[in-house]
Amino acid sequence: MRSLILITALFAMLLPAAASAQSVRQQFFVPTPAGEVAVEGFGDCPDTTCPAVLILSGSRGFGASVYDEIGQTFRASGLNAYLVHVLSPTDLDAIANAGGARARIAYYAERLQSWTSGVQSVAAYLKDQPQHGDRVSLLGISLGAQIASATAVGQTDIDALVLVDGGFPNDYSQPIDILPPLLLIWGSDDQTFPLSIAQELQRTMQQIGLPVALDVYEGGAHDFFLRSGSTNADAAHQGAADFLVQRLR
């Protein structure tokens, strides 16, 4: 009986903590050519001016609690982080039920233009907000990295770019002439997008003369960035924040 009381008390203590972790997200909507896009923020950083970071998720969306940790890490570093739900519930459902890699890739190609247009609209909206000091960046993870990279090419109003375990979309053919300072974050054991993809992208950027850095996390699998509480994930979150602060301040 005593053990049951202790377990019940502990569970009651954990419920408010879990609720507060979710409640820190503040949702609003931004109009885009394809309809409204939901955006979640974590509140302004303590500084007078806090550059904006638009975070784009992988194909499973923002359900993982680690996104709250990422948002708070960025906020503590002097950045305003925003989760941009450019992947609609319909998109997430279609991707989950695509039935294989080939079908998913075909769906990505079909939707890419709409996704990049939505991100551009959200970026323009946030850039106009005075608390961001006219500074906006993108951070994309896996599929989100593909969307972020395609969005940033040729854009002079995106001030920095972080790609996590993902590069340009399959068969991307647009000329890469303008790209903001780029940080590639990669797990050494990524089997979905092998490290060789990051290394080749780094070489390409260097040959073009565009600023690029590659941070490799030993033992990291494709989803290492989203593994809450792991040493690699914590270091990668802070590394991304440090890069963005350096480039946006």
Domain boundaries, the chain: 23-248
Q: Model confidence over 24-40: pLDDT tens digits?
A: 799 999 999 989 999 99
Looking at residue 49, what is its pLDDT?
A: 95
Q: Model confidence over 131-159: pLDDT tens digits?
A: 999 999 999 999 999 999 999 999 999 99
Tokens of 4: 């049951």
Q: Model confidence over 155-207: pLDDT tens digits?
A: 999 999 999 999 999 888 888 889 999 999 999 999 999 999 999 999 999 99
Which residues face 213 on adjacent strands?
A: 183
Looking at residue 45, what is its pLDDT?
A: 93
Looking at residue 171, what is its pLDDT?
A: 83
Give yes or no for residue 218 having a pLDDT over 70: yes
Give yes or no for residue 115 having a pLDDT over 60: yes
CA 80 to chain centre: 13
Strands 80-84 and 37-41: antiparallel
Find where tokens 């270091």 sit.
235
Give yes or no for residue 12 having a pLDDT over 50: no
Mean pLDDT of the chain: 91
Exposure class string for 107-144: b at 16+ Cβ within 10 A, else e: ebeebbebbbbbbbbbbebbbeeeebbebbbbbbbbbb
What percentage of the chain carries pLDDT values higher than 70? Answer: 91
**pTM, entire model:** 0.90
Q: Model confidence over 86-99: pLDDT tens digits?
A: 999 999 999 999 99
User: Per CATH, which fold does 23-248 belong to?
Assistant: Rossmann fold (3.40.50)
Three-state secondary structure readout of 123-178: HHHHHCCHHHCCCEEEEEECHHHHHHHHHHCCCCCCCEEEEECCCCCCCCCCCCCC
Please calculate the CA angle 248-116-73 and round it to the nearest 5 degrees: 40
Give yes or no for residue 235 having a pLDDT over 70: yes
